[in-house]
Amino acid sequence: MSELEKIKELVVELEIDDIESAVKKALENNEAEDILKALSEGMTEVGKLYEEKEYYLPELVLAGECMNTGLEIIKPHLKAGLKSKGTIVISTVKGDLHDIGKNVASTLLVSAGFNVVDLGKDVDPDTIVQAVKENDADIVALSSLLTMTVVEIENVVKALEEAGLRDKVKIMCGGAPLNQELAEKLGADYNCDDATDGVDVAIKILNAKA
Ligand code: B12
């Protein structure tokens, strides 16, 4: 089994104690981007096992920890040598604790050369407004995995409007319950199907601004 296959397997088997050493070792012989792909494939497999009722919430939490442990190790290797293209404030919306997709998006944006301010998960609109001000952000990126919390995107839009910042930033979002039509209905500018799409959209926004 290759080192990359092993990493995927460790995520699927929830081997939290071994993931750190395996990722560090794999970095000696593999590109960080390929390790990211292996981690994501493991997470996709875990998602399937959850839907097939083989795995339950505790397994999902553990898989999330495996994924995030791996991401933290590879992050510095993804961004090596790139200079910032613009500033993005990213978070998962209030009420939503899913942060794996957001972390993948954040990691890819960093690796593409953006200055990314990651506020984490379950973030309220005022914290986002504050971060936009403090960091003079160009883009607000939001993740919502729960149908119940997509409405929070609208609350972020309103908070930015009230702070007089809505015209200064573009808002992009991602997560399975969303599509472009819904994103626009909620007042956002762009929906992203996946993290790679997020990078393309961010580049498009910054190019249009330049
Ligand atoms: C892992 C997981 C959890 C973990 C999360 C751990 C963590 N640290 O994130 C835990 C156990 C905490 C969890 C909890 C719950 N979960 Co859950 N969870 C999942 C699961 C299995 C996988 C999600 C995931 O991480 N996928 C892997 C990542 C890489 O993919 P992704 O998130 O889709 O992100 C990609 C794109 O969407 C996009 N993207 C996402 N965000 C963004 C943002 C930007 C800016 C960009 C550019 C792109 C982008 O790019 C990413 C990569 O390409 C999904 C089912 C599934 N198969 O998706 C259910 C799922 C999302 N959960 C669900 C539910 C119901 C819950 C709970 C309510 C369960 C409960 N009864 O308690 C709670 C909610 C808690 C809360 N308040 O948030 C439902 C949501 C249904 C809905 N539409 O509302 C799902 C769909 C399962 C199901 N089929 O019922 N969950």
Same domain, 115 and 63: no
Taking the model in full, what pTM does it have? 0.86
Q: Please state the atom number of ligand 1 nearest to the C-alpha of residue 176.
A: 37
| Co-location of 199 and 98 in the same domain | yes
CA–centroid distance, 129 to ligand 1, in Å, is 24
Looking at residue 84, what is its pLDDT? 61
Q: Whose CA is nearest to atom 77 of ligand 1?
A: 96
Ligand 1: which residues within 6 Å by Cβ? Answer: 40, 43, 47, 50-51, 57, 60-61, 64, 90, 95-102, 104-105, 141, 143, 145-148, 172-177, 192, 194-195, 198
pLDDT, position 184: 98
Number of domains observed in the structure of the chain: 2
Cα(97)–Cα(62) distance, integer angstroms: 14
How many A from CA of 146 to the centre of ligand 1?
7
Both 92 and 117 in a single domain? Answer: yes
Instruction: Please indicate, yes or no, whether residues 99 and 187 belong to a single structural domain of this protein.
Output: yes
Residues 99, 72 share a domain: no
Task: Show which of 78, 103, 120 is a domain's final residue.
Answer: 78
Looking at ligand 1, which atom is closest to the CA of residue 61? 11
Range of the domain at 42: 3-78
**Cα dihedral 6, 11, 12, 17 sign:** positive
- Of ligand 1's listed atoms, the one at least distance from the Cα of 58 is 11
Q: Domain check: are 199 and 96 in the same one?
A: yes
Residues 6 or more apart whose CB falls under 8 angstroms from that of 65 comprise 16
Give distance in angstroms: CA of 145 to centre of ligand 1: 5
What per-residue confidence (pLDDT) applies to 83? Answer: 53
Gap between the Cα atoms of 72 and 108, Å rounded? 12
- In this structure, the answer to whether residues 73 and 94 fall within a common structural domain is no
CA of 210 to the centre of ligand 1 (A): 34
Distance 36 CA to ligand 1 centre (A): 18
Rounded distance, CA 201 to CA 49, Å? 31
92 neighbors 110 (Cβ within 8 angstroms): no
Residue 115 and residue 87 in contact, taking contact as beta carbons nearer than 8 Å:
yes
Pair (67, 110) in one structural domain: no
Q: Give the domain CATH number at 198.
A: 3.40.50.280
The three-class DSSP label of residue 79 is: coil
Report the CATH number that the domain containing residue 32 is assigned in CATH. Answer: 1.10.1240.10
Q: What do you get for the CA distance between the two ends of the chain, in Å?
A: 47
What is the position in ligand 1's atom list of the atom closest to the CA of 65?
8
Q: Same domain, yes or no, for 105 and 155? A: yes
Which of 78, 101, 129 terminates a domain? The answer is 78
Query: What are the Cα distances from residue 50, in Å, to 45, 55, 57?
Result: 9, 5, 8
pLDDT for 81 equals 46
- Please state the atom number of ligand 1 nearest to the C-alpha of residue 99: 9
110 shares its domain with 186: yes
Quote the DSSP letter at residue 90. Answer: E
pLDDT tens track, the chain, 210 positions:
899 999 999 999 999 999 999 999 999 999 998 998 899 889 889 988 988 999 988 898 899 899 889 988 998 887 654 456 799 999 999 999 999 899 889 888 887 788 999 999 999 999 999 999 999 999 999 999 999 999 999 999 999 999 999 999 999 999 999 999 999 999 999 999 998 899 899 999 988 877
